[in-house]
Amino acid sequence: MENSSAPQSDVFGIFRENMERVIGPAGPFASYLKAVNPKSLIEANLQFYKALFEIGIGKSEIEPDGRDWRFKDETWTKNPLYKRLSQAYLAMCEAVEAMIPDDLPLEEKSRAELAASIVTSSLSPTNTLAGNPAALKRTMETRGSNLARGFQAFLKDLQSNDGLPRQVDTSSFEVGKNLAVTPGKIIHRTRMFELIQYAPSTDKVHEVPVMLVPPQIGRYYFTDLAPGRSFAEFAVSQGLQYFTISWRNPSPNERDFGLADYAEAVLEATEVVAEVTGQPKINILGFCAGGILSGMVAGHLASKGDNRLNSLTLCVAMLDFQTDASLGAFRFPAMLSMAKAQSRMKGILPGSELGKIFTWLRPNDLVWNYWVNNYLMGDEPPAFDILAWNADSSNMAAQLHEDFLKLFEDNDLAEPGKYRLLDETVDLAAIECDKFFVGAVTDHLTPWKACYQSGKLFGGSKTFALSNGGHIAALVNPPGNPKAYHNIGPLDEDDADHWLESSERRPGSWWESWTKWCGERSGSMIAAKQELGSKKHKPLMDAPGEYVKQ
């Protein structure tokens, strides 16, 4: 699962190279400098100098957020020098952010805020040994062995992880051994995907089957992690006939895979599921980018008058891109043109490159947290199944990359009938089946209010659930966690905040509410077939199959 590359010459070159990959040549930084007008600059500086004066005389009331991992050590509150250091740093962060005017256009503000977060997180005193009391204590306790281990890890990451600190120890995980082990069979394979049918674990199952459409730019098995944390395992335990697509990891030879091809693949998969189960209708469940694709396919079917869709569920999926989301920082014409040209030349957008983009959207948590843990504290990164999946990146075909960038740039899905898919216009409001949407409270990629806004594009009966957790953690949310909760209610309020006020708050995972909702719409209970596949679609091999391991 390691991401390998040739050694780089120095850490500063790697940092510069990573920044160029993430944001294009000075894109958001140029936006930040452009955004800072003389008035905001003067006002922010005056406030900063005032704050420094109050810090110096010990009268400052600035204090870190209690959730900020960087300032958890008691030294930051008990030692006057370190207390002032933290206050000065936080005052600087406030000044940098205050220089961004509130009245900027949404996309310009997103780019400026991205630049500000990268700069301020990089300048945190906790990233250095002298500025990190916990690391200094560890150094004294271990007589410097933590720094020796950290330096070895640093050199290894220079050679094998593009100069970024590793986020996970993947050595204890293997797909098919302790990940993606819910019993099932590959019952269909094409150039683009394998289709998995999971074995039933109940005597009776609901008539209407469910098919998952996972993201085209990630391996499906985050929905089938270790036993007890697997969405697939839970779905079959609730009597659902459950199938999932496993996408091929494209190479430059598959550079032509585009949105239309993926849509045709989903339609083909629904036909296989219908044949195997003997049911004319199907429940489609789409996660992340797979949710975008599922919504588009549903709109295509509605335009054709094809009623094979029984229900539609979209989780952490954003179809209206004109929203206040981190990804808005990348809606920059020159940057988009350059990104298209680079992937067209290579044939793919490597998964490692895409991973860096998402990493630098949250630099404190996904870069500097591991910098401190691995290099200053000298600890190994955690062995955690979600992070192991995240490190197991897959590529994006050049055509799909171009199609997504165009969709992101033009935002055609937000206007009924403007987007065309497989020679049919897509009108999300015309989709008549019942729908279920899921957002995540701390999602930085597809904020829950943006997911709610996207849900408003659809017609018919709609339910919205808001889960605790972030973009992936909210999806990997098995029952049994005492801290888990979700809000749920009809998606009928114009404003997301008003919906939240009127929604019902339930303890536990949204998985439980969704399987009940889906089961109520999936027909009668029938005897479960013990043999998977059919005469026409005989099992080819055991799940998880071949494509997930490419």
Residue 220 Cα distances to 170, 223, 473, 543, angstroms: 17, 6, 15, 12
Per annotation, catalytic residue among 93, 288, 315, 451: 288
Q: Left (φ > 0), alpha (ψ -120 to 50) or beta: where does 205 sit?
A: beta
Instruction: Identify the bridge partners of residue 425 per DSSP, sorted by sequence position.
Output: 420
Say whether 93 is catalytic.
no
**Cβ distance 449 to 493 under 8 Å?**
no
Euclidean distance between CA atoms 385 and 179, whole angstroms:
8
My answer on whether omega of the bond before 381 falls inside 30° of 0, hence cis, is no
CA dist., res. 549 & res. 392, Å (int): 9
* Long-range CB contacts (within 8 A, 24+) of 512-516: 512/479, 513/465, 513/486, 513/488, 514/313, 514/436, 514/438, 514/465, 515/234, 515/235, 515/238, 515/240
What H or E segment, with its residue span, contains residue 424? strand 424-426
Query: 445: which residues sit within 8 A by CB, 6+ positions away?
Result: 316, 325, 326, 327, 358, 361, 471
Q: How far apart are the first and last CA of the chain?
A: 11
d(CA 340, CA 419): 20
Q: What residues are labeled active site?
A: 288
